[in-house]
Amino acid sequence: MIRLTWVQPEDLVGHELRQAAEDGRDVRDVAARWHAAGGHDAPPRAGASEPGAARLRPLAERLLDELAAIPSPLDEPTDLAAIIAATPAWPAARDRVPGGRRPDLDRVPGGRRVDPARVLGAWQGRVAGCVLGKPVEKIPREGIRAIAEATGNWPIRGWFTARGLPPEIAERWPWNRRSAVNSLAENIDGVPEDDDLNYPLLALTVLERHGRAFTTDDVARLWLDELPAGRTFTAERVAYRNLLAGVEPPETATLRNPFREWIGAMIRTDVYGWVNPGDPATAAEYAWRDARLTHTANGVYGAMFAAAMCAQSLVATSAEEVVNAGLSVVPPGSRLHRAVRQAVEDAARESDFETVVDRLHERHGGLHWVHTVNNAALVAAALVHGEGDVTATIAGAVAGGWDTDSAGATAGSLAGALNGGVPRRWRTRDSLATSLTGFDGIGLAELARRTQEMMGA
């Protein structure tokens, strides 16, 4: 029997109960009925339940629909107009000429053009952080440190390696095997495929095909045309299933989707920032159009936060400026805004980054390791504490021990843009592997060129 993770109703109820606890819904009666029937809680680091759980499917379907009917008491809107109304610091968008074109959009305020090196640096940084985090994805924080220390790589200053790793450490903290085959120092040959890199390619594609007026429906159709279902996970896989069942956005994000506040949308929106340098408001709006296909509330805010930071990272002079741009598009009453603000306050005053991460885990340790809130706070903290330095930033994001490749990729994107490139130690052979049509083997310089072209489209 083929067990498909992330979509079976009996695998989703535990996650939905966990989501309810996070967004303030009282679901104790539903939880009691689920547990009395033998239903399980959300597994901490996996997507599927034990064999035999399919007998609970009819009950799971009923309970998922019942849970969906219980509203959250939190004031965390998903509608764009409501998000803007709830965000007093929402920045002004840069004007565009009639018809939507702005030939000089690649100029920063003051008339200077965006430095192409910063666009290339953003792509390089995203790749570097992603590849660094790949082999230790799903390994908790203490395991990552044990591996790094045992191989002389603590603090992290280079790729992970199996060379010299004591057998007892390797046995206790096994690599993510699917990733380690092409992301350890001894076997990196170009840029391996990863969902954290596929999604920026899809964002670039939707802009090239549909222009700046693209819609959520355009994103959905592109997924069905170009994105293999097996390359999707958590909220994206649920939304993909919903699309195939004839469900239309934005219901694709809410129908039996307990992962709607996880990190999936946040990893998809860097390009929307890069094509809007110095314009976090427009970047956030583009991100919202994409994110609402799969996510709600903090899941959407994370996407907008990342896009706004990426927009500012191409023109900013400091990490704090980048994070403030991101926060300017997130409702201040939201869980994500509070988490990021606390994280950067800690990062600004604590000299030891491990202390910063200790506090992050104390506050957010109950969240799933791929939730948006904890990972967004970690990315912001790593960027601020590292003062934008590429190595310190991606190392901090990965060493934090949550979604290592995703957090590393976003943190690297921001630091790479700030610095106009990444140190040579973080560069691979310039060839990106992907299952997306027309992109396999593409170089980062070509991606940067196409990204810069879209700034003035």
pLDDT computed for residue 414 by the predictor:
98
Sign of CA dihedral 13, 16, 20, 21: positive
Q: Reply yes or no on whether the pLDDT at 67 is more than 50.
A: yes
CATH superfamily, domain at 80-132+192-455: ADP-ribosylation/Crystallin J1 (1.10.4080.10)
Domain ranges of the chain: 9-68, 80-132+192-455
CB 134 within 8 A of CB 186: no
The pLDDT confidence band at residue 95, using thresholds 50, 70 and 90, is low
Measured CA to CA, the distance from residue 457 to residue 454 in angstroms comes to: 5
Q: Please say whether the beta carbons of 382 and 393 come within 8 A.
A: yes
Specify burial of residue 352 (Cβ count, 10 A radius: 0-12, 13-18, 19+): exposed
pLDDT of amino acid 400: 98
**Lowest model confidence (mean pLDDT) among 112-116, 185-189, 378-382, 452-456:** 112-116
Closest CA to 123 of 181, 184, 188, 203: 203
Residues β-bridged to residue 107: 113
Predicted local distance difference test score (pLDDT) of residue 97: 44
Query: Is pLDDT of 105 > 90?
Result: no
pLDDT interval class at 98 (50, 70, 90):
very low
| pLDDT over 80 (residue 317) | yes
pLDDT at residue 373 greater than cutoff 50: yes
User: What would the two tokens of residue 114 be?
Assistant: 């965006």
Q: Both tokens of residue 173? A: 């903290």
pLDDT for the residue numbered 177: 82
Please give the pLDDT value at position 456: 81
pLDDT band at 99 (very low <50, low <70, confident <90, very high): very low
CB-based contact 266:304 (threshold 8 Å): no
How much of the chain exceeds pLDDT 90, in percent? 89
- pLDDT higher than 90, residue 208: yes
Q: How far apart are CA 59 and CA 72, in angstroms?
A: 22
pLDDT at 338 over 50: yes
Mean pLDDT, range 173-189, rounded to an integer: 93
Flag the least confident range among 45-49, 57-61, 147-151, 388-392.
45-49
Each residue's pLDDT tens digit, 384-430: 999 999 999 999 999 999 999 999 999 999 999 999 999 999 999 99
Integer Cα distance of 457 and 453 in angstroms: 7
Q: Quick one: how many helices (H) and strands (E) in the chain?
A: 21, 0
Q: Is 406 annotated as a binding residue?
A: yes
pLDDT single digits (tens) 165-180 = 999 999 999 998 888 9
**Band (457; pLDDT cuts 50, 70, 90):** confident
Q: Would you place residue 275 in the very low, low, confident or very high pLDDT band (cuts 50, 70, 90)?
A: very high
Q: What is the pLDDT of residues 118-155, one digit of tens each?
A: 999 999 999 999 999 999 999 999 999 999 999 999 99
Residue 29 labeled ligand binder: no
